[in-house]
Structure 1
Amino acid sequence: MAVEATFEIEITPVDGVLPTTSRFDFAKVWQGAAQGVSKGVMVSAGDPASGTAGYVAMEVFEGTLDGRRGTVAFQQFGSMRGGGQDLRYEIVPGSGSDQLEDVTGTLHLEIDGEGVHHITFELG
Protein backbone atom coordinates (compact mmCIF):
# COMPACT_ATOMS: atom_id res chain seq x y z
CA MET A 1 0.00 0.00 0.00
CA ALA A 2 1.39 3.42 -0.95
CA VAL A 3 0.79 6.52 1.18
CA GLU A 4 2.22 10.00 0.70
CA ALA A 5 3.62 12.67 3.00
CA THR A 6 5.90 15.70 3.03
CA PHE A 7 8.36 16.96 5.60
CA GLU A 8 10.26 20.08 6.54
CA ILE A 9 13.79 19.51 7.78
CA GLU A 10 16.14 21.47 10.02
CA ILE A 11 19.79 20.39 9.81
CA THR A 12 22.43 21.18 12.45
CA PRO A 13 26.09 20.53 11.54
CA VAL A 14 28.22 18.81 14.20
CA ASP A 15 32.02 18.46 14.16
CA GLY A 16 33.19 15.74 11.75
CA VAL A 17 33.80 12.28 13.12
CA LEU A 18 36.93 11.56 11.05
CA PRO A 19 38.91 13.47 8.40
CA THR A 20 36.83 14.10 5.22
CA THR A 21 33.58 13.30 7.05
CA SER A 22 30.71 15.45 8.26
CA ARG A 23 28.04 14.80 10.86
CA PHE A 24 24.61 16.39 11.00
CA ASP A 25 21.78 16.17 13.50
CA PHE A 26 18.37 16.80 11.98
CA ALA A 27 14.74 17.25 12.93
CA LYS A 28 11.72 16.86 10.66
CA VAL A 29 8.07 17.87 10.88
CA TRP A 30 5.87 15.50 8.85
CA GLN A 31 2.52 16.24 7.17
CA GLY A 32 0.13 14.14 5.10
CA ALA A 33 -0.24 10.39 5.67
CA ALA A 34 2.67 10.69 8.13
CA GLN A 35 1.85 13.21 10.87
CA GLY A 36 4.45 13.82 13.53
CA VAL A 37 8.10 14.58 14.15
CA SER A 38 11.38 12.75 13.74
CA LYS A 39 14.95 13.29 14.84
CA GLY A 40 18.07 11.70 13.48
CA VAL A 41 21.79 11.63 12.83
CA MET A 42 23.54 11.67 9.44
CA VAL A 43 27.21 10.99 8.69
CA SER A 44 28.62 11.77 5.24
CA ALA A 45 31.95 11.48 3.44
CA GLY A 46 33.36 12.47 0.08
CA ASP A 47 33.01 15.66 -1.91
CA PRO A 48 29.34 16.55 -2.51
CA ALA A 49 30.35 19.73 -4.40
CA SER A 50 32.00 17.54 -7.07
CA GLY A 51 29.09 15.07 -7.13
CA THR A 52 30.90 12.18 -5.43
CA ALA A 53 29.87 11.43 -1.85
CA GLY A 54 27.92 9.11 0.39
CA TYR A 55 25.94 9.21 3.60
CA VAL A 56 24.14 7.06 6.13
CA ALA A 57 21.39 8.24 8.46
CA MET A 58 19.18 6.88 11.22
CA GLU A 59 16.06 8.66 12.46
CA VAL A 60 13.18 7.92 14.82
CA PHE A 61 9.67 9.03 13.84
CA GLU A 62 6.94 9.63 16.42
CA GLY A 63 3.34 10.22 15.37
CA THR A 64 0.85 8.57 13.05
CA LEU A 65 1.60 6.73 9.84
CA ASP A 66 -1.41 5.90 7.68
CA GLY A 67 -3.63 6.44 10.74
CA ARG A 68 -1.61 4.19 13.09
CA ARG A 69 0.09 5.80 16.11
CA GLY A 70 3.50 4.94 17.52
CA THR A 71 7.22 5.25 16.87
CA VAL A 72 9.35 3.68 14.18
CA ALA A 73 12.93 4.09 12.93
CA PHE A 74 14.01 4.86 9.37
CA GLN A 75 17.44 4.19 7.86
CA GLN A 76 18.98 5.83 4.80
CA PHE A 77 21.94 4.90 2.65
CA GLY A 78 22.78 7.32 -0.14
CA SER A 79 25.55 7.83 -2.68
CA MET A 80 26.38 10.28 -5.48
CA ARG A 81 28.64 9.57 -8.42
CA GLY A 82 28.88 10.78 -11.99
CA GLY A 83 25.97 13.19 -11.58
CA GLY A 84 23.60 10.42 -10.45
CA GLN A 85 22.21 9.61 -7.04
CA ASP A 86 21.27 6.31 -5.43
CA LEU A 87 19.17 6.24 -2.25
CA ARG A 88 17.94 3.37 -0.12
CA TYR A 89 15.43 4.54 2.51
CA GLU A 90 13.49 2.04 4.59
CA ILE A 91 11.74 1.27 7.84
CA VAL A 92 14.10 -0.51 10.25
CA PRO A 93 12.73 -4.02 10.87
CA GLY A 94 11.60 -4.55 14.47
CA SER A 95 11.82 -0.84 15.37
CA GLY A 96 8.10 -0.05 15.68
CA SER A 97 6.07 0.50 18.83
CA ASP A 98 2.36 0.63 19.67
CA GLN A 99 0.22 0.47 16.49
CA LEU A 100 3.39 0.65 14.35
CA GLU A 101 4.95 -2.39 16.04
CA ASP A 102 4.77 -4.60 12.93
CA VAL A 103 5.10 -1.96 10.18
CA THR A 104 7.58 -2.64 7.36
CA GLY A 105 8.34 -0.97 4.08
CA THR A 106 10.38 1.44 2.03
CA LEU A 107 10.31 5.18 1.48
CA HIS A 108 10.81 6.97 -1.83
CA LEU A 109 12.07 10.56 -1.65
CA GLU A 110 11.65 13.29 -4.26
CA ILE A 111 12.58 16.94 -3.74
CA ASP A 112 10.68 19.31 -6.02
CA GLY A 113 11.98 22.53 -7.57
CA GLU A 114 10.84 24.51 -4.53
CA GLY A 115 12.76 22.31 -2.09
CA VAL A 116 9.70 20.47 -0.72
CA HIS A 117 10.55 16.90 0.34
CA HIS A 118 7.87 14.44 -0.90
CA ILE A 119 7.81 10.90 0.49
CA THR A 120 5.89 7.89 -0.78
CA PHE A 121 5.73 5.03 1.72
CA GLU A 122 5.41 1.53 0.27
CA LEU A 123 4.09 -0.22 3.38
CA GLY A 124 4.35 -3.98 3.78
Structure 2
Amino acid sequence: MAVSSGMLAVMSKRAEGTFVVDAWDAEKPYDERDGVTFTRVHVDKTFGGGLTGTSTTELITVHTGAGPAAYVGIERFEGTLDGRAGGFVLQHNAGGENGTPWLTWKIVEASGTGALTGIRGEGRIIVDEDGGHSYSLDYEVD
Protein backbone atom coordinates (compact mmCIF):
# COMPACT_ATOMS: atom_id res chain seq x y z
CA MET A 1 0.00 0.00 0.00
CA ALA A 2 1.40 3.39 -0.92
CA VAL A 3 0.88 6.30 1.42
CA SER A 4 1.41 9.79 0.10
CA SER A 5 3.38 12.10 2.37
CA GLY A 6 3.60 15.37 0.47
CA MET A 7 5.57 14.61 -2.69
CA LEU A 8 7.15 11.43 -1.26
CA ALA A 9 5.31 8.11 -1.57
CA VAL A 10 6.11 5.62 1.19
CA MET A 11 5.45 1.90 0.79
CA SER A 12 4.05 -0.06 3.72
CA LYS A 13 5.96 -3.27 4.42
CA ARG A 14 5.42 -6.28 6.65
CA ALA A 15 8.13 -8.02 8.67
CA GLU A 16 7.39 -11.48 10.04
CA GLY A 17 9.35 -13.97 12.08
CA THR A 18 9.82 -15.46 15.51
CA PHE A 19 11.43 -14.52 18.78
CA VAL A 20 12.77 -16.38 21.79
CA VAL A 21 12.31 -15.16 25.35
CA ASP A 22 15.86 -15.32 26.78
CA ALA A 23 14.94 -14.00 30.24
CA TRP A 24 11.68 -13.53 32.14
CA ASP A 25 12.54 -11.92 35.47
CA ALA A 26 9.37 -11.33 37.47
CA GLU A 27 9.54 -9.33 40.68
CA LYS A 28 7.42 -10.19 43.69
CA PRO A 29 3.83 -9.02 43.01
CA TYR A 30 3.37 -5.45 44.20
CA ASP A 31 -0.43 -5.46 44.39
CA GLU A 32 -2.54 -8.50 45.34
CA ARG A 33 -6.23 -7.93 46.08
CA ASP A 34 -9.45 -9.81 45.49
CA GLY A 35 -7.76 -12.45 43.31
CA VAL A 36 -6.07 -9.93 41.00
CA THR A 37 -2.27 -9.57 41.03
CA PHE A 38 -0.01 -6.90 39.44
CA THR A 39 3.64 -7.81 38.78
CA ARG A 40 6.58 -6.04 37.15
CA VAL A 41 8.55 -8.20 34.72
CA HIS A 42 11.81 -7.61 32.83
CA VAL A 43 12.07 -9.57 29.56
CA ASP A 44 15.02 -10.09 27.18
CA LYS A 45 14.35 -11.44 23.65
CA THR A 46 16.22 -12.52 20.52
CA PHE A 47 14.47 -11.99 17.17
CA GLY A 48 14.77 -13.80 13.84
CA GLY A 49 13.08 -13.21 10.49
CA GLY A 50 12.34 -9.69 9.24
CA LEU A 51 13.50 -8.35 12.62
CA THR A 52 16.96 -9.62 13.57
CA GLY A 53 18.39 -8.50 16.88
CA THR A 54 17.66 -8.26 20.58
CA SER A 55 15.36 -6.33 22.85
CA THR A 56 14.69 -5.49 26.47
CA THR A 57 11.16 -5.03 27.74
CA GLU A 58 9.53 -3.81 30.93
CA LEU A 59 6.03 -5.16 31.55
CA ILE A 60 3.27 -4.72 34.08
CA THR A 61 1.26 -7.97 34.11
CA VAL A 62 -2.20 -8.70 35.48
CA HIS A 63 -3.09 -12.19 36.72
CA THR A 64 -6.49 -13.36 37.90
CA GLY A 65 -7.70 -16.62 39.35
CA ALA A 66 -8.11 -17.83 35.76
CA GLY A 67 -4.43 -17.11 34.95
CA PRO A 68 -2.66 -14.40 32.92
CA ALA A 69 -5.21 -11.75 31.94
CA ALA A 70 -3.41 -8.70 30.50
CA TYR A 71 -0.18 -6.74 30.27
CA VAL A 72 1.21 -3.43 29.10
CA GLY A 73 4.84 -2.75 28.33
CA ILE A 74 7.61 -0.82 26.66
CA GLU A 75 10.25 -2.63 24.56
CA ARG A 76 13.50 -1.31 23.06
CA PHE A 77 14.57 -3.24 19.94
CA GLU A 78 18.09 -2.98 18.47
CA GLY A 79 19.25 -4.75 15.33
CA THR A 80 18.05 -4.81 11.74
CA LEU A 81 14.66 -4.64 10.10
CA ASP A 82 14.74 -6.07 6.59
CA GLY A 83 18.46 -5.20 6.40
CA ARG A 84 18.19 -1.64 7.83
CA ALA A 85 20.30 -1.26 11.01
CA GLY A 86 19.00 0.73 13.96
CA GLY A 87 16.44 0.52 16.67
CA PHE A 88 13.04 1.66 17.89
CA VAL A 89 10.67 1.38 20.83
CA LEU A 90 7.49 -0.70 20.87
CA GLN A 91 4.47 -0.08 23.09
CA HIS A 92 2.68 -3.32 24.05
CA ASN A 93 -0.95 -3.91 24.94
CA ALA A 94 -2.37 -7.37 25.59
CA GLY A 95 -5.52 -8.90 26.97
CA GLY A 96 -8.24 -11.32 26.11
CA GLU A 97 -11.82 -11.47 24.97
CA ASN A 98 -14.07 -14.49 25.55
CA GLY A 99 -10.99 -16.54 26.48
CA THR A 100 -9.08 -15.63 23.31
CA PRO A 101 -5.87 -13.64 23.92
CA TRP A 102 -4.81 -10.68 21.78
CA LEU A 103 -1.35 -9.07 21.84
CA THR A 104 -0.58 -5.88 19.91
CA TRP A 105 2.34 -3.50 19.64
CA LYS A 106 2.82 -0.06 18.15
CA ILE A 107 6.07 1.68 17.25
CA VAL A 108 6.50 4.72 19.49
CA GLU A 109 6.54 7.92 17.42
CA ALA A 110 10.00 9.45 16.85
CA SER A 111 11.79 6.51 18.57
CA GLY A 112 13.59 5.18 15.47
CA THR A 113 17.40 5.39 15.30
CA GLY A 114 20.03 4.77 12.62
CA ALA A 115 18.57 3.62 9.30
CA LEU A 116 15.22 3.22 11.09
CA THR A 117 14.81 6.93 11.88
CA GLY A 118 11.27 7.94 10.97
CA ILE A 119 9.84 4.43 11.33
CA ARG A 120 6.18 4.05 12.24
CA GLY A 121 3.81 1.10 12.36
CA GLU A 122 2.08 -1.55 14.38
CA GLY A 123 1.73 -5.29 14.60
CA ARG A 124 0.88 -8.27 16.71
CA ILE A 125 2.41 -11.15 18.61
CA ILE A 126 1.12 -14.71 18.25
CA VAL A 127 1.72 -17.32 20.95
CA ASP A 128 1.52 -20.83 19.51
CA GLU A 129 -0.11 -23.75 21.33
CA ASP A 130 3.40 -25.09 22.14
CA GLY A 131 4.39 -21.70 23.68
CA GLY A 132 6.48 -20.46 20.71
CA HIS A 133 6.25 -16.80 19.75
CA SER A 134 5.89 -15.27 16.30
CA TYR A 135 5.17 -11.72 15.18
CA SER A 136 4.07 -9.54 12.30
CA LEU A 137 4.94 -5.86 12.04
CA ASP A 138 3.45 -3.56 9.42
CA TYR A 139 5.70 -0.51 9.06
CA GLU A 140 6.84 2.43 6.98
CA VAL A 141 10.19 4.22 7.04
CA ASP A 142 10.80 7.60 5.43
Same fold per TM (> 0.5)? Answer: yes
Is 1:21 the counterpart of 2:38? The answer is: yes
Question: 1:87 aligned to 2:99?
Answer: no
Identity %: 28
Contact 1:30 1:37 in 2 (8 A): yes
- Maintained 8 Å contact 2:125/2:135: yes
Q: Could you say if the C-alpha distance between residues 105 and 8 of structure 1 is closer, same or farther in structure 2, counting changes exceeding 3 Å?
A: same
TM-score of the superposed pair, with normalisation by structure 1? 0.88
Residue pairs, 1:48-87, within 5 angstroms: 49-50=65-66, 53-87=69-103
Larger deviation: 5-14 or 78-87?
78-87
Give the distance between the partners of 2:63 and 2:126, measured in 1 at CA: 22
Query: In structure 2, do the counterparts of structure 1 residues 15 and 116 end up closer, same or farther at CA, with 3 Å as the change threshold?
Result: same
Contact 1:51 1:83 in 2 (8 A): no
CA distance in 2 between counterparts of 1:16 and 1:51 reads 14
CA RMSD of the aligned region, Å? Answer: 1.7
| Contiguous gaps of at least 5 residues in structure 2 | 1-12
- TM-score normalised over the length of structure 2: 0.78
Q: Which runs of 4+ in 1 moved over 6 A?
A: none
More helix by share: 1
Deviations 1:5-29 (A, max 9, x none): 2100121111334332111100000
Residue 37 of structure 1: aligned partner:
54
1:120 aligned residue (121, 127, 136):
136
Which of 1 and 2 has greater Rg? Answer: 2
Secondary structure of 1:100 counterpart: coil
